[in-house]
Amino acid sequence: MKKNASVYWICQIAGWFSYGLAIVFFAYILEKQLSLIFYPRLLITIILGILLTHILRKSMVKLSLRPPTPSNQWWKIFLLIILFAGLFSVINSSLIEIFKLFDRDRDAANGVPNHFVFSIHNIVSTWNGARVSKRILFSLLFDTPIFLVWVSVYVLWHYIEFTNSEEVNKVRLETIIKELELKTIKSQINPHFIFNALNSIRALVDEEPKRARQAITELSNILRSSIQVDKIEVTTLEKELAIVKDYLALEYIRFADRLIVEYEVETKTLDNEMPPMMLQTLVENAIKHGLGKQPGDCTIKIISKFDQEKHVLLVQNTGILNVGEKDGFGLQSTRERLNILYRGQALFEIFQGTPNQVTAKLAIPISIHKK
pLDDT at 144: 74
- Residue 214's Cβ-count burial label (10 Å; 0-12, 13-18, 19+) is middle
pLDDT at 146: 83
pLDDT at 327: 63
pLDDT at 317: 92
Residue with more model confidence, 329 or 10: 10
Question: What is the C-alpha to C-alpha distance for residues 248 and 244, in angstroms, rounded to an integer?
Answer: 6
pLDDT at 110: 42
pLDDT at 108: 43
- Residue 115 predicted with pLDDT over 50: no
pLDDT at 74: 82
pLDDT at 228: 66
**Range 79-102 burial, b when 16+ CB lie within 10 A, else e:** ebbeebbbbbbebbbebbbeeebb
Query: What is the tens place of the pLDDT at every residue in 300-329?
Result: 999 999 998 899 999 999 988 877 666 665
- Residue 347 predicted with pLDDT over 80: yes
pLDDT at 124: 38
Q: Is 311 helix (H, G, I), strand (E, B) or coil?
A: strand
pLDDT grade, residue 126 (50/70/90)?
Answer: very low
Nearest residue to 80 via CA among 163, 4, 155, 160: 155
pLDDT at 256: 76
- Residue 98 predicted with pLDDT over 70: yes
Residue with more model confidence, 240 or 93: 240
Residue with more model confidence, 356 or 145: 356
Pure H helices in the chain = 2-31, 38-62, 74-98, 104-109, 123-126, 129-182, 195-207, 209-227, 237-255, 278-290, 329-342
Average pLDDT, the chain: 77
**Average pLDDT in the 175-198 region?**
58
Question: What is the C-alpha to C-alpha distance for residues 272 and 222, in angstroms, rounded to an integer?
Answer: 21
The correct answer on CATH 3.30.565.10 for the domain covering 169-365 is yes
Residues in Cβ contact with 365 at an 8 Å cutoff, skipping those fewer than 6 apart: 309, 310, 311, 342, 345, 346
Residue with more model confidence, 228 or 336: 336
Q: Could you state, in order of their start, the residue ranges of all structural domains in the chain? A: 2-167, 169-365
Question: What is the C-alpha to C-alpha distance for residues 110 and 103, in angstroms, rounded to an integer?
Answer: 11
- Residue 75 predicted with pLDDT over 50: yes
pLDDT at 179: 63
pLDDT at 310: 92
pLDDT grade, residue 181 (50/70/90)?
Answer: low
DSSP state, residue 92: H
DSSP state, residue 229: G
- Residue 113 predicted with pLDDT over 70: no
**Average pLDDT in the 164-179 region?**
67
Question: What is the C-alpha to C-alpha distance for residues 228 and 317, in angstroms, rounded to an integer?
Answer: 28
Of 15-19, 114-118, 245-249, 359-363, where does the model show the most confidence? 359-363
pLDDT grade, residue 119 (50/70/90)?
Answer: very low
- Please state, for a pLDDT cut of 70, what percent of the chain lies above it: 73
Q: What is the pTM of this model?
A: 0.49
- Residue 299 predicted with pLDDT over 50: yes
pLDDT at 11: 87
pLDDT at 70: 72
CB 94 within 8 A of CB 65: no
